[in-house]
Structure 1
């Protein structure tokens, strides 16, 4: 077996990792339209301008607009 060095450790005082960078991977935005939301169907975080609400399981949920697959293709190409 190969010996791999463990880079993350839990501190004695809690659950914070010593090698993890602080903060959130999602940028903080002061405007409501710049915030991100996760799609109920695919789970990816997208800007609110690329989302729409649809009734899923009897409740309005944020989903990718026009669809998750089409949005992925638009963003890649």
Structure 2
């Protein structure tokens, strides 16, 4: 007995869906190195190339490089 294929459809109000799209918006289609991670300090998702590791609270954490403010200014976000 075969299952019916469920198509992903968004309801007109945009808030509900019949089935969820697989995957995550933060993964890259290509290699693992092109994926994003969130900055430990500001919480924004950035490409891994624009993050550096820094020891915070006794553990190595990924943070924006050179800083969160400088990246936002360079990207025109304020």
TM-score band (shorter)? 0.5 to 0.7
Deviation at 1:35, TM superposition (A): 0.8
Map of 2:68 onto structure 1? 68
Deviation at 1:75, TM superposition (A): 1.1
Q: Distance in 2 between matches of 1:57 and 1:31?
A: 30
Map of 1:14 onto structure 2? none
> How large is the RMSD of aligned CA atoms in angstroms?
2.5
Map of 2:9 onto structure 1? none
Q: Distance in 1 between matches of 2:31 and 2:74?
A: 25
Query: Which residues of structure 2 form unaligned runs of 5+?
Result: 1-11
Q: Secondary structure at the match of 2:70?
A: helix
TM-score, with normalisation over the residues of structure 1? 0.68
Aligned residues: 65
Deviation at 1:27, TM superposition (A): 4.2
